[in-house]
Structure 1
Amino acid sequence: MDLDPATSVHGHCDDRFTPIRDALAKAIADGEEVGAAIAIDIDGELVVDMWGGHADAARTTAWTENTIVNVWSSTKTVTALAALMLIDRGLVAPDATVATYWPEFAANGKQDIEFRHLLTHSSGLSGWEPPFSVETVYDWEAATAALAAQAPWWPPGTASGYHAVTHGHLIGEVVRRVSGKTLKEFVRDEIAGPLAADFQIGADPSDSHRIAEVIPADEPLDLPLDQLSEIAMKTFVGAPDPTIANTEAWRAADIGA
């Protein structure tokens, strides 16, 4: 159903949520959004499922019902769900040390880090010791080996610090060791598949035609570098340009963060 042909917003919207529909239509009409989709589920009822605009910067490809897009850090919630499923099945204990499942991880003072510390961003491994390239992030063996070898940046369990990219590799390696499946395989087989959810970690090449292009903001976030701690600097500085999400290497990688 076309909600408003004049603004190219399509799909379904419960009457209770027409302000959201109007806001999406306005954002697209004003150029604030090139294209976007919004879905809202309340107690199992899909009350909003709408989309509009274009899936590319050139505005040549319409955003459709089946368009998918890089979702950035919301992937962490799915990665955490995989971890919680292992706990629920009795395969991992939240208060067991990570080294119980990943022996090499005990190196460099990490022998007491517990699995729950990975879930709560309190392991002290919020980033890789620099220099560390995004190309190495794509290499699961190299990336996880580096995390296993390095020392934590603060006493584990004493504070929470956003594990911007390492979150997926840390939890994902435990998932791999315990289940025998990579994180992307576990999500595909144990979560997305049974739920018929159109979600992937590492996009299937056959879906490349329906992936929306990531378009950087005109005014990107300006980090106050002079106010960041050394740990925050190491965690965030050197973060890749958002257009990297448009590359085949990024889309194929197992990045659970």
Structure 2
Amino acid sequence: MVSPAGLGALLAEFEENFRSRGELGASVSIWIDGEEVLHEAGGWCDTSRERPWTTQTMVPVYSATKAPAAATLLLALDAFGLGPETPVGEVWPRFPLPEATFAEMLSHQCGLAALDQPASLWRHDEIVAAVEAQKPAWRPGEGHGYHPRTFGALLDEPVRRLTRHPLARYWRTHIAEPLGLDFWIGLPKSQHARVATLYPGKASPADFQEGFYQAFQQQDSLTHRAFSSPRDVRSVREMNDPKAWSAGFPAMGGIGTASALARFYQVISGQIDGPFSTEVLAALATRRVDGEDLVLLKPTAFSCGCQLDPLDEIGRKCRHLYGPATRGFGHPGAGGSHAFADPESGLSFAYVMNQMELSVMPGIRATGLIEALYGA
């Protein structure tokens, strides 16, 4: 259980990030049992230090978008009497594994992380054609591997087929707007002035000793190909372009505040009422796969769209990115943004920032906050 001392320790760690860990601008939000108990912000929106970072500052969060996007697809399926165990082919007949279930697709089991046919991230139709032409690298039951970019089209296309609207619009109309979430998948021009500038992380020699980064540097590796397809919008500079903010990429294009992300996790962990059925909430929270990730080259665990900490052979957590409880679930974003729910304590957490770290998993600034929160 989180105590007032834990919140105080988190605040001290948040301040230490600015003093000694290169933080530029950041926010952290903690909700417990339906109430926000902490929302702290500090620093700057850009290196010129002309725009102070406030609790209302928004920033791109890369793959922390995946959980809201997955919840959107599950909600759309539910609205049409379908669910996680529905075969994808019932909605998308030309999907390469039509017999695979939505649960298997959402938990990265369908082997479509990399595309052989060129497609641009800006062109949904090109991505869909490439997915439909792709031979899966593995099938459900043969393993799992993170789909960093293709995951967006895998969610967006079924939503479009069911609702005749892009996922970004369905998210806004049926989830974000009714719940008052200041989190956008497709940011309108009226909100552009609130967005902080992202700055890339810097690599150290030690970073390249890790298996993931060694594979990432090899052009023909599955890891490199997964993070390169669909092509385009690969640099942080491109993610600072308002065109990317407005595009509504479901795998990596979300923009919002820490408070909005943490509130979202209150909703999907059942602490705040929302539009989701019991089946949808269970799908987002329930562990589906656990083991060595064929793309990230480290153990990972997934529900239908969220991550969990992997477990060892006797059921102990191998990492603690989602708190100490086994049932904690959420999703990080490249560079350091992170959000999760801890259903056992009724808590949700979100941290967003603009000075990125070189990591696809939460770095020291986020993990330090989590350790302080639970350790005090």
TM-score interval, normalised by the smaller of the two chains: 0.7 to 0.9
* Aligned residue-pair number: 238
For residues 137 and 53 of structure 1, do their structure 2 counterparts lie closer, same or farther at Cα, with a shift above 3 Å needed?
A: same
Q: Does residue 125 in structure 1 map to residue 119 in structure 2? A: no
Deviates more, 1:238-247 or 1:113-122: 238-247
Residue 236 of structure 1 aligns with an amino acid whose one-letter code is F
Give the distance between the partners of 2:175 and 2:10, measured in 1 at CA.
29
Output the aligned Cα RMSD.
Answer: 2.3
Deviates more, 1:191-200 or 1:88-97: 88-97
For residues 88 and 100 of structure 1, do their structure 2 counterparts lie closer, same or farther at Cα, with a shift above 3 Å needed?
A: closer
Residue 175 of structure 1, CA deviation: 1.1
For residues 182 and 60 of structure 1, do their structure 2 counterparts lie closer, same or farther at Cα, with a shift above 3 Å needed?
A: same
Aligned to 1:252: 246
Question: SS state of the match for residue 39, structure 1?
Answer: strand
Question: SS state of the match for residue 23, structure 1?
Answer: helix
Residue 227 of structure 1, CA deviation: 9.4
Residue 218 of structure 1, CA deviation: 2.6
Aligned to 1:166: 150
Give the distance between the partners of 1:52 and 1:46, measured in 2 at CA.
18
Flag the structure with larger Rg.
1
User: Whose helix proportion is higher, 1 or 2?
Assistant: 1
Deviates more, 1:145-154 or 1:212-221: 212-221
Does the CA contact (< 8 Å) of 2:198 and 2:236 recur in 1? yes
Residue 106 of structure 2 aligns with an amino acid whose one-letter code is L
For residues 86 and 131 of structure 1, do their structure 2 counterparts lie closer, same or farther at Cα, with a shift above 3 Å needed?
A: closer
Q: Does residue 63 in structure 1 map to residue 46 in structure 2? A: no
Q: Deviations over 1:142-187 (max 9, x none)?
A: 2222212222111244211101011121011101111222110011
Residue 225 of structure 1, CA deviation: 2.3
Question: SS state of the match for residue 188, structure 1?
Answer: helix
For residues 67 and 122 of structure 1, do their structure 2 counterparts lie closer, same or farther at Cα, with a shift above 3 Å needed?
A: same
With normalisation by structure 1, the TM-score equals 0.84
Does the CA contact (< 8 Å) of 1:184 and 1:202 recur in 2? yes
Unaligned runs of 5+ in 2: 252-376
Using the aligned pairs only, state the percent identity.
30
Residue 239 of structure 2 aligns with an amino acid whose one-letter code is A
Question: SS state of the match for residue 37, structure 2?
Answer: strand
Q: Does residue 99 in structure 1 map to residue 86 in structure 2? A: no
Aligned to 2:63: 73
Residue 124 of structure 1, CA deviation: 1.0
Does the CA contact (< 8 Å) of 1:36 and 1:52 recur in 2? yes
Give the distance between the partners of 2:55 and 2:121, measured in 1 at CA.
31
Does the CA contact (< 8 Å) of 2:84 and 2:102 recur in 1? yes
Residue 192 of structure 1, CA deviation: 0.4
Among candidates 28, 42, 63, match of residue 38 of structure 1: 28
Aligned to 2:129: 145
Q: Does residue 232 in structure 1 map to residue 226 in structure 2? A: no
Q: Deviations over 1:60-88 (max 9, x none)?
A: 11112211000111111111111222343
For residues 157 and 182 of structure 1, do their structure 2 counterparts lie closer, same or farther at Cα, with a shift above 3 Å needed?
A: farther
With normalisation by structure 2, the TM-score equals 0.58
Does the CA contact (< 8 Å) of 1:144 and 1:169 recur in 2? yes
Unaligned runs of 5+ in 1: 1-13
Residue 207 of structure 1, CA deviation: 1.1
Does 1 or 2 have the higher relative contact order (CA < 8 Å, sep 6+)? 2
Give the distance between the partners of 1:99 and 1:253, measured in 2 at CA.
27
Residue 185 of structure 1 aligns with an amino acid whose one-letter code is R
